[in-house]
Amino acid sequence: MPSMPKRVYIAYTGGTIGMINAGDGYAPATGYLEQRLRAMPELRDAAMPEIILHEYTPLLDSSNMTPREWLAIARDIFENYDAFDGFCILHGTDTMAYTASALPFLLQGLNKPVILTGSQIPLVELRNDARENLTTALLLAANYAIPEVCLYFGDKLLRGCRAVKVNAQGFDAFDSPNYPPLATVGVEIQVRWNLIRAASEKILRAPPKALNATVASLRLFPGISAEFLRNVLQPPLQGLVLETFGTGNAPNHDQAFLDALAEATARGVVIVDCTQCLRGAVKLNAYATGAALLDVGVVSGADMTPIAALTKLHYLIGRGHSADETRAWMQQDLYGELTM
């Protein structure tokens, strides 16, 4: 008996890949991507999976994405989970790393590939990166049992909650500075199975209905004032990713600055220290300037990206965890977002 073709669900949220030139720049166009896909002969090749395209309404430039859309994507995957072998999310590049970082927390019990991709140049243009990114992402989602949320772009498959956008114009737009690519694509697709997380023993859980959290990110700079920091930390803020210098350092000669942090942590604001550096990890005991943060209740984000730390805070606080519980979970690896 011939084997049944693999089935891949495409969640088309918007982004450059399906845009047209509307006269004042690229913009999403309802129905256009489906027309382009029908015209691509490679998608009719016997090696390709059967695809079902779900076009979101409205289509969004990813700069307009919010946590509400993260939840909508997670619910879409959950509702279609049993009918497909894998999932491909077409997404704009500007905030793709945020969605790729949030989804692992929202898809607990995931045992199928969920791969985000997009392009720097839309399919409408003769020369583009959209065609290769799309076809390879579909092949990966259909044929490789990678039970993770991943991001595929420019010949690299990255763990979603480790990815960051590093290039605004080049085809190598994303990287995973603190974790190697899960797969590289050249003449052959080479998957590094030793880096892949083990399949979950649990079934996929329904995503939460809402994420009611108020969190933010603040990048330190030389001369930042205590008054500015205190204003950022005002209620209703519940969590803050503090992007610090080097291995997690901040000014320790400004007592008012440290007092602002101490006051916020005392009233339950969870402050997570992530380095501004592209590579490396926070080590709060390495320097006095880092230890000062530890003393006022700031917790280490280790080698998490600031993006992953922000989405993790959204999830933990949004699910109703207390400040102490959130601080503890922020320092534990849940879905490959940090190195223990």
| Catalytic residue IDs | 16
The contacts of residue 155 (CB under 8 Å, 6+ apart) are 172, 184, 185, 186
Written as six digits, the tokens of 106 are 């929202």
For the chain, how are helix, strand and coil distributed in percent, rounded to 5?
A: 35, 20, 45
Would you state the structure tokens that stand for residue 77, as one six-digit string?
């995957």
The whole-angstrom distance between residue 310's C-alpha and the CA centroid of its chain comes to 10
Straight-line distance from the first to the last Cα atom of the chain, in angstroms, rounded to the nearest whole number = 47
Cα separations (Å) of 183 from 24, 141, 155, 156, 195? Answer: 38, 12, 8, 6, 9
Classified as helix, coil or strand, 336 is coil
**What's the token pair of residue 203?**
């079934």
Token pair for 308:
């992953």
Whole-Å CA distances, 74 to 54, 175, 318: 14, 23, 15
Considering only CA atoms, give the Rg of the chain: 21
Question: CA–CA distance from 75 to each of 30, 146, 203, 302, 311 (Å)?
Answer: 22, 20, 15, 30, 17
What lies within 8 Å, CB to CB, of 52 at 6+ separation is 7, 8, 9, 10, 84
| Contact between 115 and 157 (Cβ < 8 Å) | yes
Where do the H-state alpha helices sit in the chain? 32-38, 67-80, 96-106, 130-143, 226-232, 255-266, 288-295, 306-318, 323-330
Q: Which residues contact 288 (CB under 8 A, 6 or more apart)?
A: 252
